[in-house]
Amino acid sequence: MVLAPKNGLKPTTRFKGRRLTQQQLDLPGILGVANDLGDGGAQAHVHDRGELHVHMNGAVPVSTIQEIMADEATSFPAGFDCERDMTRLTPCKSLAEYLTPWQVLRLFPKKRANLDRLADAVFASLVENAVRFVEIRSTVLYLTGLQSCTPAQALERLIESTGSAARHYGIRRGLILTVTRGDYGASNLATLLQAYEDIGRPKDVVGLDLAGDEETPYPAELPAMIREAKERYGFGITIHAGETGRVENVREAVELFYADRIGHGTAASKDAALMDLLATKGVCVEVCPISNRLTGAVPRDEAHPLQEFRRRGVPFVICSDNPAIHQRGLADDQAAAMAEGLSICDMQQQYEIAKHFSFMEGLS
């Protein structure tokens, strides 16, 4: 059920039947707080899971990355130590440090067949975590440079590879197209939407996501473009906001981008009026407990705000963000949420909550 380390790290011990590295044992606020990891307790009661916030390239097992890099004869960047830099297992000093693995994640796949290969590995990991449906997100356009193809071809390939892997493992999947904050946000969104039109508005694409450094401004026209795409195509909208303490980004996500869901949103808990707004509008927070501790979105000496979300009636769903980078899976994030104070009952409700807030149609 739970993924063992696949990056060549030597397991140093076993924790109630699970192999863990020493680094994983040291993760504060998650392990050691409650005895609910891998003991047949919390996880045994949850047979089905829905995953609403996972980045595809953050979900590729390290062993698969190494195989693809070797097959494509791509060198790791100078000074990049795969064992040290490819995973993030302990809280980072900065978001930049957390993002170190992305130096490599943008270097592959150059071959069409390796997109299939990594999609297969991603879905194999999801099925190990009893994920029945997933909304997987990708920036898509990075594939055009790697594979010398058009944006429409890149999107088509992503749909084919993930669709085929999802069918193979019996998982329902939707795609969320990610746009990154910064100067190119609007032009990249226009390119993505044109690609989506060019291939006949495939039903596989269910939503749009805004990601990237929250300190970086976005083009003034971006919110209107996202609202218009929501209206025209029926996309769900999710915005990474409030991960680095910027409360105003969460408010903008709701008021300017018409977000249906917020990625992380941890800063929102510090603003009572904003919590009321999220609760009243039924905007769901995608809570990624392990990621939040590793990035420092929730400092080690503070409680995770998910209990505050619950108290104030803000809906939330537990997600994994970049599970392969964390060497964990959604089952671990649910266990981590329990270590942060949620109950088994809360976890048992998660599947229905994820269905309710999913952008995919026909989940029942």
Which chain residues interact with Zn ion by CB under 5 A?
321
For the bound state, the minimum distance from the C-beta of residue 242 to Zn ion, rounded and expressed in Å, comes to 12
**For residue 330, what are the CA distances in angstroms to 199, 227, 327?**
32, 30, 11
Quote the least distance from Cβ 55 to Zn ion, whole Å. 6
316 contacts 341 by C-beta, under 8 angstroms: no
Could you tell me the smallest distance in angstroms from the CB atom of residue 344 to Zn ion? 26
Our CB check for Zn ion shows the closer of 321 and 332 to be 321
In the complex with Zn ion, which residue's Cβ is closer, 57 or 334?
57
Three-point CA angle 240, 324, 359, nearest 5° = 40
Whichever of 152 and 210 has its CB closer to Zn ion, that residue is 210
Q: Which is nearer to Zn ion, 135 or 204 (CB)?
A: 135
Shorter beta-carbon distance to Zn ion: residue 42 or 325: 325
The residue among 20 and 235 lying less far from Zn ion, judged by its C-beta, is 235
- Structure tokens given for 249: 């980004």
Q: Helix/strand/coil (H, E, C) string of the chain?
A: CCCCCCCCCCCCEEECCEEECHHHHCCCCCECCECCCCCCCCHHHCCCEEEEEEEHHHCCCHHHHHHHHHHCCCCCCCCCCHHHHCCCCCCCCCHHHHCCCHHHHCCCCCCHHHHHHHHHHHHHHHHHCCEEEEEEEECCCHHHHHHCCCHHHHHHHHHHHHHHHHHHHCCEEEEEEEEECCCCHHHHHHHHHHHHHHCCCCCCEEEEEEECCCCCCCCCCHHHHHHHHHHHHCCEEEEEECCCCCHHHHHHHHHCCCCCEEEECHHHHHCHHHHHHHHHHCCEEEECHHHHHHHCCCCCCCCCCHHHHHHCCCCEEECCECHHHHCCCHHHHHHHHHHCCCCHHHHHHHHHHHHHHCCCCCCC
Partners of 134 in beta bridges? 51, 173
CB of 36 to Zn ion, least distance (A): 24
Smallest distance from Zn ion to CB 212, Å: 10
Instruction: Tell me whether residue 20 or residue 250 sits nearer to Zn ion (CB atom).
Output: 250
Q: Least CB distance from residue 278 to Zn ion, whole Å?
A: 18
| Residue 59 or 195 having the CB closest to Zn ion | 59
Residue nearest to Zn ion (CB): 321
Residue with tokens 């590295």: 21
Closest contact distance (angstroms) between CB of 263 and Zn ion is: 5
Q: How far is the CB of 162 from Zn ion (least distance, A)?
A: 17
Instruction: Give the shortest CB-321-to-Zn ion separation in angstroms.
Output: 5
Smallest separation, CB 272 to Zn ion (Å):
25
**Residue number, 204 or 321, with CB nearest to Zn ion:** 321
Nearer to Zn ion, 117 or 328 (CB): 328
Longest dimension (CA), the chain: 53
Tokens read off for 166: 């999802």
